[in-house]
A = this chain, B = another copy of it.
């Protein structure tokens, strides 16, 4: 398999009500196997659009994976569009659907519901094959035409993932041939990075993507294993301690890696991020050995009662202040019995800003047995962007503290 096209079906995608997730998942796995994803398309629920998609790509790509439009309700049109495309009728794949029903035999409520959805969820175009759904009810559809394998799967991400793993085992098998590396550099702008590694950027055997996301820039380097490895070595030596450790795909991973290496525990105290720093650290499985927890203290009372921020600090300097950030970090260190702590307190907006402390003003506190310090940043963007950047900056500084401290 050389080429693939991924398509997601659903008005909720074109109306901006839902973000596309399945093609994103599949693209990553195909890419890792050296399969070239020619395009990702998001199209509407309409039968004609699904038909037109099939006409556009069958015969022009080795694989076409469709996601969505196989549920039990009126807006699920994929099975009918495929039957039209293949110019055939539809019949129920009862034997396969029985296997789905068998899974809920001991749950009378779900059993009744699953049976009620048999039509249309078991209906398969006569010139295609049914695809078993190990994680949900709706069967998938598979057929071949003009050298293209077409697989239509439900849009529920858990079902899509389980069924692609089942239908395309070769894509999910371990691989050695097609290699890529990700190198994350902190605090240096993308153009400066590109200028400092011309041998990598201009190497025709490599394909380099440069992806900035304040305060980090990620380089994704693709090519054969040997060239990629030597490019990665060169970048690492050139940017030294501004590069995250090898194998760390995110700031959170780097923090956990470094804490594990040093045998220390980290904790957080969060105000404007509301738990997002803790969430980022615990996104990664097995974080409990080095991450103790995070005290989300949104109110002044919580900052005082839980973290021990002083009354006079809140009264004289306010919650968004150097003093408060320092006391929050020290509080987190103490109540969690941690070795390193980071705190954030800021104004994410859209309200709450003032001339002295405009929206985007965030104080970060860092505490360890050795020292407490605080730093202020004025972060641009809307509420969501300010919160995301606050999380990234807090993790970046926590990593530097663990790495150098």
Contact = CB atoms under 8 A, between A and B. Distances in A.
Contact of A274 (B19, B212, B282): B282
A205 interface: no
A354 interface: no
A232 interface: no
Interface string A188-222: 01111010000001100001111110000010100
Given A73-B194, A293-B296, A281 B285 contact: no
Q: Bin the interface of chain A by size.
A: 35 or more
Interface SS of chain A: mixed
A348 B287 CA distance: 12
A11 interface: yes
Contacts of A306: 293, 295, 306, 335-336
Interface stretch (A239-247, A365-373, A379-387): A379-387
A296 B275 contact: yes
8 contacts: A45-B209, A265-B299, A272-B282, A274-B279, A275-B275, A282-B387, A283-B387, A292-B299
A37 B46 CA distance: 13
Contacts of A168: none
A172 interface: no
A351 interface: yes
Interface string A233-277: 000000000000000000000000000000001011010111111
A25 B29 contact: no
Contacts of A224: none
Interface string A161-189: 10000000000000000000010000001
Contact of A29 (B16, B23, B192, B297): B16
Contacts of A283: 274, 384, 387
A400 interface: no
A31 B16 contact: yes
A294 B201 CA distance: 46
Nearest to A286: B351
Interface of A: 10-21, 23-31, 37-45, 71-75, 113, 116-117, 135, 156-158, 161, 182, 189-192, 194, 201-202, 207-212, 218, 220, 265, 267-268, 270, 272-279, 281-283, 285-288, 291-299, 301-302, 305-306, 335-337, 348-351, 380-385, 387
A17 B267 CA distance: 29
Given A11-B209, A20-B20, A39-B42, 7 more contacts: A15-B31, A135-B380, A278-B278, A292-B297, A292-B298, A292-B301, A306-B306
A285 to B, nearest CB: 6
A15 to B, nearest CB: 4
A95 to B, nearest CB: 22
Given A211-B12, A301-B292, A73 B190 contact: yes
6 nearest A-B pairs in the assembled complex, by CB-CB distance: A16-B28, A274-B282, A275-B275, A275-B278, A16-B27, A40-B42
B296 A209 contact: no
A20 to B, nearest CB: 7
Contacts of A161: 382
B273 A191 contact: no
A274 B281 contact: yes
B276 A279 contact: yes
B17 A40 contact: no
A243 B297 CA distance: 30
Contacts of A189: 113
